[in-house]
Structure formats: C-alpha cells, structure tokens
Structure 1
Amino acid sequence: MSVSPGKFLRDVRAEAERVTWPTRRATLITTGAVLAMAGLASVFFFAVDQLIGLGVRQLFGLGG
C-alpha cells in the first residue's frame, strides 16, 4: 500500500482546515496561566530547597 506525496499533502491540508484553532485571547490567557504556575512552582521549590538546606546544615553543624 503506497500513498503519493501529493495525496498526503492534500490530506494534511484538509485535516489542518478542520482544526479549531484557539483565538489570540485564549492563547494569551493560557500562556499567562502557564507562566504564573511556573513562577509559583519555582518559588515553592526554592523555599523547600532552602528549608531542606537549613535542616541539613543544622543537623550536621555546617556553619550557618
């Protein structure tokens, strides 16, 4: 079973026309939400890292 490159490209174009693309506003809102969650996650993991580091320093008496 072989498919010609021309038919493949026509099928790809037809499929792309059926896609429901997001609006600019929806894309911006989603991007903002992703950036906000990434920022919150980075702050959370920084705080957890600092607490664990403090605990390890206290446990082993490594300066402070």
Structure 2
Amino acid sequence: MAKKENLITFFQDVRDEAEKVTWPSRRELGISTVMVVIMVIAASAFFLGADALLKLVVDRLLGI
C-alpha cells in the first residue's frame, strides 16, 4: 500500500506545482517564437559561411 500512497502523493504534488506555473501570454509566446526563428536563421547562416570557408581552405590546401 505504501507505493500506492506515494504515487497518489506524487500526482498531488505534480498538480500543486503545475498550478504555480506562470504561463506566458500570447504576445510573449509570439515574441519568443520570432526570436527563436531569427536565432535559428542566424546560426544557420553562420555555420553555412563557416563550412564554405573551411571547404575553400581545405580545397586550396589539398589542391583540389
């Protein structure tokens, strides 16, 4: 029985903690989403450029 009581207590604690969460507003969520998309595009552009530069250097060193 101890396991069942612990399980019930666990789910009660989860519910209590979920009620304490402050969820973002629709506006905050939209701004965060746009920022994530911008950062993904910036990181993609950076790695694309770094990859192209490294490929150029390696091709020149190997004489390809």
TM bracket, shorter-chain basis: 0.7 to 0.9
Q: Percent identity?
A: 44
Kindly state the Cα deviation for residue 58 of structure 1 after the two structures are TM-superposed: 1.3
**What is the TM-score when the length of structure 1 is the normalising length?**
0.78
User: Structure 1 stretch 8-17 or stretch 41-50: which is displaced more?
Assistant: 8-17
The structure whose RCO (Cα within 8 Å, separation 6+) is larger is: 1
TM-score (norm 2): 0.78
Question: Which structure: greater helix fraction?
Answer: 2
Number of aligned residue pairs: give it.
61
Task: Please tell me the root mean square deviation across aligned C-alpha atoms, in Å.
Answer: 1.5
**Structure 1: gaps of 5 or more residues:** none
Matches within 5 A, 1:5-24: 5-24=7-26
Encode CA deviations 1:33-52: one digit per residue, 9 max, x unaligned.
11111110110110111011
* Runs ≥4 residues deviating over 4 A: none
Gaps of 5+ in 2: none
The residue that corresponds to 2:56 in the other structure is 54
> Which secondary structure state, in structure 1, belongs to the residue aligned with residue 18 of structure 2?
helix
